[in-house]
């Protein structure tokens, strides 16, 4: 892990901390000296035994309010929010002509409304703390069409871009920054299908100019940069972490 300075004594809330990108980000922040409050439906991972942890649904307003308020109450400040929670439902999330409305609503609730709720409850504590930084995880999928569509996922991830820009402009006066990371295909529990089909992973990597899929470490490094003081003049923007995929014609 890259050694990051400036996180000692800071407090971060990380959604999706039960696995994948969220777990790697939470673990790296802990290693860098931050106090982390993880949020996830999954059980607490062993790697976060020494962190604060709240098990619940990011689309549940009352739960989110309590979890974020507890993080502030425990430490007296809130400096960072990372929205890494999300679902990618292969087989269920399909074209708008086919998707079940309940599935559409649930994907939107988790992937987009969850980001709104965490920001809604984190920003006031960041204002009390004198500022902060927010990183949301979107996807390169929201920048392109697909002949095998996952329309709810794509729409939710596109909405995150607009939400982040609005947060950035509304709260810049409070020294609160908001940015988005757009990963391409990344090796994480979301892509568990690669374990059963290594050939699919190989073909996916062939479509990436750098010749491989992303890793949770790649995403965590980008996230910690955007949270850090090295990115203190960066807000309201998006960072592609895609191995060059979106630069292809």
Q: Which domains does the chain have, with CATH numbers?
A: 11-241 (3.40.50.720)
DSSP-derived letter for residue 45 is P
174-186 average pLDDT score = 95
High-pLDDT (> 70) share of the chain, %? 95
**Mean pLDDT score of the chain:** 94
Q: Which of 72, 80, 157, 201 is catalytic?
A: 157
**15, 55 in Cβ contact below 8 A?**
no
For 107-129, the pLDDT digits (tens) are 999 999 999 999 999 999 999 99
The pLDDT value recorded for residue 1 is 45
The pLDDT value recorded for residue 200 is 74
pLDDT band at 194 (very low <50, low <70, confident <90, very high): low
For 88-113, the pLDDT digits (tens) are 998 899 999 999 999 999 999 999 99
3-state secondary structure of 68: helix
Assess whether pLDDT exceeds 80 at residue 168.
yes
For 36-87, the pLDDT digits (tens) are 999 999 999 999 999 999 999 999 999 999 999 999 999 999 999 999 999 9
Rounded to two decimals, what is the model's pTM?
Answer: 0.94
For 210-239, the pLDDT digits (tens) are 999 999 999 999 999 999 999 999 999 999
- Residue 212 Cα distances to 183, 185, 207, 208, angstroms: 13, 9, 8, 6
**72, 11 in Cβ contact below 8 A?**
yes
Assess whether pLDDT exceeds 70 at residue 2.
no
The pLDDT value recorded for residue 4 is 74
Question: Does the active-site annotation cover 153?
Answer: yes
Q: Which of 53, 153, 165, 173 is catalytic?
A: 153
**Environment class of residue 156 by beta-carbon count within 10 Å: exposed (0-12), middle (13-18) or buried (19+)?**
buried
Question: Does the active-site annotation cover 157?
Answer: yes
């Amino acid at each position: 892990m890259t050694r990051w300075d400036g996180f000692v004594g800071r407090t971060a809330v990380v959604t999706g901390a039960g696995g994948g990108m969220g777990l790697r980000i939470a673990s790296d922040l802990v290693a860098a000296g931050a106090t982390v409050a993880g949020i996830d439906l999954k059980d607490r991972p062993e790697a976060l035994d020494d962190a604060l942890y709240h098990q619940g649904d990011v689309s549940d307003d009352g739960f989110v309010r309590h979890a974020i308020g507890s993080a502030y109450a425990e430490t007296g400040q809130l400096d960072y929010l990372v929205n890494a929670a999300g679902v990618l439902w292969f087989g269920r999330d399909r074209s708008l002509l086919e998707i079940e409305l309940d599935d559409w609503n649930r994907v939107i609730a988790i992937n987009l409304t969850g980001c709104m709720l965490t920001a809604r409850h984190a920003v006031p504590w960041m204002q009390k703390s004198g500022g902060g930084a927010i990183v949301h995880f979107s996807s390169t999928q929201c920048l392109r069409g697909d002949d095998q569509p996952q329309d709810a996922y794509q729409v939710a991830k596109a909405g995150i871009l607009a939400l982040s820009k609005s947060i950035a402009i509304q709260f810049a006066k409070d020294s609160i920054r908001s940015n988005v990371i757009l990963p391409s295909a990344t090796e994480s529990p979301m892509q568990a299908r690669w374990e059963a089909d290594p050939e699919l992973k190989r073909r996916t990597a062939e479509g990436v100019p750098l010749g491989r899929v992303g890793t949770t470490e790649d995403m965590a490094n980008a996230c910690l940069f955007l949270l850090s003081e090295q990115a203190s003049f960066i807000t309201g923007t998006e960072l592609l972490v895609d191995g060059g995929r979106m630069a292809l014609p």
